[in-house]
Amino acid sequence: MIGGHASLIKAPSILRDALTHLVNTHENQRPSSIATIKESVTALEAFMNEIAEVGYGYEVCGQPINNPLIILGRKLKEAESNRESIKIKVQMACEVLSGKKFLKGSISTYQKFSLVVDVRNELTHPKASVIKISSEALTPPKNELRLMKRLKSYGFTPKEQSKHDWTSAIENKRFAEWAHLSIVEVMYYILYLWPYKEAIDSYIKLYGLDHYAQK
């Protein structure tokens, strides 16, 4: 009896949909930008789940249990069961595949990705913005001030007419493109840690990342 393992790859089509919103000049800028941000992160979530299946595939095919992809696959499946965040999953992948302790503050790719995820989370689960009013100024909530500070460090600031509204800094195609490419960069980063170097180019093509390399 011959056994096997197969899984449906969804991340490439989700990533392509995110890009479609970005390049479609007929779409309204605000909703299309938000769609690009959300779907880019969703594509990465699918990507991480698919990596877990790759590891499981190695396991059912009888590869040694110390294979880093098997180890990562088990960790990612456990993380999914525990409803861990996409940030935790990316950290796991970097640690297991590199064999080194993950120091998120030293990796610029992770810092950009982390900001994109936080923006996506705020857009998906918005909280009431309680603005403090005084005779001197209007002050947004601390969490929004922190987010605006991080956005500003990458050159994204609210519009002058809505400077207390952080969303005016990200509801545009310039930020959406930056967010999308930041997610693509994370995918590249993880794939270049792959233990089988001869397979890297195949995975890059499978996920459509070669399209970005050509730009």
- Mean pLDDT per 10-residue section of the chain, whose length is 215 residues: 67 95 77 95 98 93 92 97 97 95 86 97 79 63 90 92 84 95 97 95 96 69
pLDDT at 1: 46
Question: Is the full-model pTM beyond 0.75?
Answer: yes
Which amino acid, residue 9?
Answer: I
pLDDT at 127: 73
pLDDT at 134: 60
Paired residues of 132 in beta bridges: 139
Can you give the residue ranges of every domain in the chain?
11-213
Query: HSE (CB half, 13 Å, CA atoms) of 193?
Result: 21
Q: Name the token pair of 139.
A: 């002050």
pLDDT at 215: 47
22, 43 in Cβ contact below 8 A? Answer: no
pLDDT at 125: 84
Burial class (CB in 10 A: 0-12, 13-18, 19+), 121: middle
Burial class (CB in 10 A: 0-12, 13-18, 19+), 10: middle
Place of tokens 């449906």: 8
CB contact set of 170 (below 8 Å; sequence gap of 6+):
33, 37, 119, 151, 156, 176, 179
Q: Measured between alpha carbons, how far is 121 from 143 in angstroms, rounded to an integer?
A: 12
pLDDT at 67: 95
